[in-house]
Each structure stands twice: as structure tokens, then as C-alpha cells.
Amino acid sequence: MPDIVSLTLTDVRDKLAAREIKAEEAVAACLRRIEETEPKIRALLHLDDDKALEQAKAMDAAGPVAGKRLWGVPVCIKDAICVADAPTTCGSKILEHFVPFYDATCIGKLREAGAIILGKANLDEFAMGSSTENSAYKITANPWDLSRVPGGSSGGSAAAVAAGQCFAALGTDTGGSIRQPAAFCGTVGIKPTYGRVSRFGLVAYGSSLDQIGPLARTADDAAALLTVIAGHDPKDSTSAPREVPDFEAALAGAADLKGLTIGLPDQYWGEGVDAEVRESCRQAMDAAASLGAKVVPVSLPHTHYAVATYYIVAMAEASSNLARFDGVRYGYRAPEAKTLEELYELSRSKGFGPEVRRRIIIGTYVLSAGYYDAYYRKAAQVRRLIRQDFLDAFTKCDVICGPTSPFAAFPIGKMTGDPLKMYLSDIFTISLNLAGLPGLSMPVGLGKDSGMPIGMQLFGPAFDEAAILRTAKVLGENLPKLPQPAGL
């Protein structure tokens, strides 16, 4: 049998169900891998190894349970999602000692499906960043090259999956924070339609943008995880009361792309995209055409407004959401404060890192009385135009395709001194969050110059995650497989 950690989620699940391996063996294999790789990549903020082993032993004693889709499968969780009795820091000093007493809805669904939670993954503080360099605790490295970033803000989750520390992980995507690290680390990452997965128990950054989704090794793995965590939740007022299909079953038997029309937006394939990224994605499109897909041009004309629109909306919502962290109810409390004003000022200035403070200040500014109409209202209007671009494009195609990022993973420290350049790195991912539509990033090869994974993005109509998962599955099975990460 191959090393357990090299198996896909669906493979290890099937072997667990057949009792070819034990849950304890799966957990122990992941813990050994964590011990080997964690000093290099620093992907995890909290590891609950004793509890995970204890749970696995109890499950082995009782035996596999039919119908539990993830029985005995070890997974990791981004540390912005609440897990009962485990630290939830959001990568921030202000929540350093916060331990929730309840599970997020998606965590409850994972437990019901039999998954074993190993620990919490590192992230940019409050999910604000594109490189996982903004965490208050550690900088995560890319398993393919330890001198490069894993992407962000779900960089810890993506790195853990790529390094074999777990079989899948949950991340969150506000402006590309699942898809971009998936691209940088050579994994599959999917942002579901807004409302498909409950946000109850997710520490909010941008409430109209945030979505929880899976990072995994294959489209089949992502489909299995998404089927488990999706569904309406009365605890979340933004949760969509839509029936959840069995995404895994929808992929069964998919062997070609006949009858599928793929749209290529000019705005995603032109100037500003590195040659190695464009070449890898073009080769994937050639493969799609050879598998029967029809490739047509489409246009998303308001794409060049997306970065400005996104950061106005996201920072405004962040300013509002993060007002609750005031040093009074929970979180870091400045001990030297002598007045209420000092308590607010010192607790927030010392508890939040520089990037979070920057976004709160800008968000407060655009919401202020004199500037609301000029900035926030205008951004809301442009957001509607961006969504309409996608709706118009989907009248001509079934799926839209383009690079996930204009470039491969960049060196640690390269962009930390230039916040605007870092923001611009999200140009191909943020439009989808503004539109509330589903998107998936999949690996399509290694860059000729960088030797790093290149990610290609698939967009689908609202609540049609099955279309992009099917496309990713067929393409993934017909493109060259990536080797093991070179950095490990």
C-alpha cells in the first residue's frame, strides 16, 4: 500500500470504510507528516493530536458507519472558523486566548459526517491578506519552495493540504482567499455560491463577500467535502434555502467535455499576465478543446474597476464587523488603560496588526458622512455592473475560464512594503466575490521559469458548482499530474 498521506480523500475514505486501514492509522500518519514538515512550512496554529487520536480509537472500536461520507478522515480548519474548545485566534493577538464554546455550522456538519479535526491552520490576520505574512504568530511557507509565500489568506490550509498534513481543509474566500492559495500550492480550491455554505461560526471580515469552502487534492475530494458542508442554515440569515445536490455523484462517469461551452474573457488573458501562467492555462484550454469543449470569447468589461470596488466594500464591512473587538467583552484588553477611551485605543492599536488597522481606517473613512456617497454608494453601484457582466457572459457559455493569479507564488517579503501592489495581485479573483458566484481553482502545471504550480480558475452560474467541478475533474484527469512539492 502507498504511504497513507499520499492518498486522496476519497481513496482514504474508501479504505477506511472497507477497514483496510484504521482511523487511528490515518490520524497517526498525518501527525507523523506534521511532525516532519511543520517546522519548515509553519502551516498550523493549533494541533489537537491527543483528542484526534482518542476520537480515532473510539471510532475504530465502533466500526465504520454507513452514510458518514467522511468517516475517519483527518482534516484541518482555517483559524477563522469556530471549533468548540479549540483556540480561534483569526491569526490576531486580539483573539489570542479566545476559545469558543460552540462549533460553526460547517464544523458540526463535518463531525456528523465522521471527519476528525486535527487542528487549526494559519491565516492572514482576520483573513486580510494575500500571502499569509500578516499573521500575528508565524509566516507560512509554500511547500513547493520554502522561500515563497503559500498565498492567502487561507495559506495555512492550502499548505497543509499540499504538504500531506491532512487530506483536506476548510478555508474562507472573501476576495480569492481559497482560490489564490490553492493556485500557489497546487491544490484544488472552491468558493461556493454566496449562501451555499452557512457562515454561522465564521468570524466575519466582509459579510456580503465571505464564503467557507474546501481545499483538497482533487475535484472529487472537493466535491465530497462541499456536499457535506453545504446546505441551508436558519442560524444564518444569508444562507440560501436551496436544495444541495450530491456533488460527488454529479461527477461520476464524467469522461469528456462534449457539449460544454467555455468562455474566455479578454480581460483575464491579456496584459499583466506572466508568460508562464498564460502558457500553462492555454495548454489546459487546448486540452479542454480536445476533450470536446467549445471555446468562445466573452467579455467582462467592468473588470478593471473590480479592485477599487472590492476594497471599498470589503474595508467598509471590516470596519463595521471589527468594531466589536474593543477590549471590553472578550479578546485582548490593554492592562495599562486607565480610562474607557484609553481602553478602546490601546486594546485595538496593540491587538490589531498594521494591515487590519489600515483596512479599518480606510473602511471608516469611506463610510463617514462626507464620503459615503462618493465612495461606498458608488462602489455598490459598480458591484451590480460587475455581476451583470457575468450574467451576460453566461448567456454565451456554461463556464468561464482564466488564470487564478497573474503570476506564480512570489518570494516571502517581496510585497509586504507595497500594500497596493499586494491588493492588485487579487485582480482575477475578487470580481467573483462581488458577484456572489461560484469559482474553482485547479492546478494546470508548473511554470517554466518559476517551477511553481500554476492555477487556472473556473467560474460558474449561481448554485451550479457541479458544472465547474465536473470540468475540473475531467481536465484534471487529462493533464499531467504534479509531482510531490519540491520544497519538502
**36 part of a folded domain:** yes
pLDDT of residue 2: 57
Taking 70 as the pLDDT cut, the residues of the chain under it are 1-2
Smallest CA-to-CA distance from 399 within 353, 465, 348 is with 465
**318 part of a folded domain:** no
Catalytic positions, please?
78, 153, 177
- What does the buried/exposed string (b/e) look like for 333-362 if buried means 16 or more CB atoms within 10 Å of the residue's CB? bbeeeeeeeebbebbbeebbbebbeebbeb
pLDDT of residue 329: 85
**118 part of a folded domain:** yes
**349 part of a folded domain:** no
Report how many domains make up the chain: 1
pLDDT of residue 248: 96
Contacts of 232 (CB under 8 A, 6+ apart): 198, 239, 240, 241, 242
**Cis before 157 (ω within 30):** no
**Which 8-state DSSP code applies to residue 267?**
G
| Cβ proximity of 457 and 440 under 8 Å | yes
CA distance 233 to 245: 16
Range of 74's domain?
4-258+438-478
Contacts of 253 (CB under 8 A, 6+ apart): none
What is the Cβ-side half-sphere exposure of residue 292, based on CA atoms within 13 angstroms? 9
Contacts of 485 (CB under 8 A, 6+ apart): 142, 143, 144, 162, 163, 185, 186
**360 part of a folded domain:** no
**344 part of a folded domain:** no
- What does the buried/exposed string (b/e) look like for 103-129 if buried means 16 or more CB atoms within 10 Å of the residue's CB? bbbbbbbbbebbbbbbbbbbbbbbbbb
CA distance 319 to 357: 9
**300 part of a folded domain:** no
**CATH number, residue 151:** 3.90.1300.10
**176 part of a folded domain:** yes
